[in-house]
């Protein structure tokens, strides 16, 4: 199944939902704002639920299963490197020390991007079959 009416309908609902939710956040101090937020969240949840329901109709995709645990580890490594670089600058006030910590954090993140995540995403790639 390619693009179809159902997709268009629920994309419209998604856009209405996010608009109402934002309007609700803007006017949260008023009663109307709270109602708008609630209705927006309902629209958003409904559209996402419907997206999920029509997803299987898409048919088979040329993509092997990507192991979730490995992907999660990859993301954690990437984010961990950032945390090391960012919070590391508060451990020392020397320029050299800060630069070293920033580079170490950067290398950790790069390892996540260049090693762990590609390995996870290509683990069962169809071109390997």
Partner 1 sequence: MKNFRHQFLLCLVLLLSLGAVARAATSATAEELKAAAAKAPATADLQQGDPGGSLTGTISDVPVSDTKAGITIADVANQVGQNKIGINFTWTLITGFLVMFMQAGFAMVESGLCRVKNANHTYMMNFTVYACGLFAYWIIGFAIQMGGAAGNGNLGGLQPLSSEHMLNLFGTNWGIFGQQGMFLTGHTYDVGVMVLFLFQMVFMDTALTIVTGAAAERWKFLTFCVSSVMMGAFTYPIFANWAWGGGWLAQLGVNAGIGKGYCDFAGSGVVHAVGGLTGLAVALIIGPRIGKFNRDGSSNAIIGHDISAVLIGCFILAFGWFGFNPGSTLGASGAGCLRIGSIAVNTMLAGCLGTFGAMLYMWIIKGKPDASMAGNGLLAGLVAITAPSGFVDTIGAAIIGLVAGVLVCLSVAFIEHNLKVDDPVGAISVHGTCGLWGVLSVGLFADGKSNYGGSWNGVTGSVTGLFYGDANQLVAQLIGISTLIGFVFGFSFVLNWVLDIILGQRVSAESEVAGLDLPEMGQLGYPEFVFRTEPDFMLVAERAEVA
Binding site for partner 1 (CB under 8 A): 1-3, 7, 11, 14-15, 18-19, 22-23, 25-26, 48, 51-52, 55, 58-66, 71, 75, 78-83, 85-86, 89-90, 93, 95-96, 98-99, 102-103, 105-106, 109-110, 113-114, 117-118, 121-122, 125-129
- Strands (E) located in 13-101: none
Smaller CB distance to partner 1: residue 31 or 126?
126
Task: Please check whether residue 109 is in contact with residue 81, taking contact to mean a CB–CB distance below 8 angstroms.
Answer: yes
Residue 34 Cβ vs partner 1, minimum distance, rounded to whole Å: 16
- Cα–Cα distance for residue pair 112/33, rounded to 1 Å: 42
Residue 38 or 97: the one with the smaller Cβ distance to partner 1 is: 97
**Residues in Cβ contact with 110 at an 8 Å cutoff, skipping those fewer than 6 apart:** 81
Q: How far is the CB of 31 from partner 1 (least distance, A)?
A: 18
Name which of 75, 95, 73, 98 is nearest 87 in CA terms: 98
CB of 73 to partner 1, least distance (A): 12
Residue with tokens 């645990």: 69
């Amino acid at each position: 199944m390619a693009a179809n009416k159902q997709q268009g309908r629920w994309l419209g609902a998604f856009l209405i939902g996010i608009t109402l939710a934002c309007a609700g956040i803007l006017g949260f101090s008023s009663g109307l704002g709270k109602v708008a937020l609630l209705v927006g969240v309902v629209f958003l949840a409904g559209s996402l639920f419907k997206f999920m329901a029509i997803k299987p109709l898409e048919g088979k995709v040329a993509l092997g299963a990507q192991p979730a645990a490995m992907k999660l580890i990859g993301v954690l490594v990437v984010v961990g490197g950032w945390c090391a670089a960012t919070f590391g600058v508060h451990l020392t006030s020397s320029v050299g020390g800060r630069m070293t910590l920033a580079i170490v954090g950067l290398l950790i993140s790069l390892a996540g991007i260049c090693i762990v995540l590609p390995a996870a995403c290509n683990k069962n790639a169809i071109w390997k079959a």
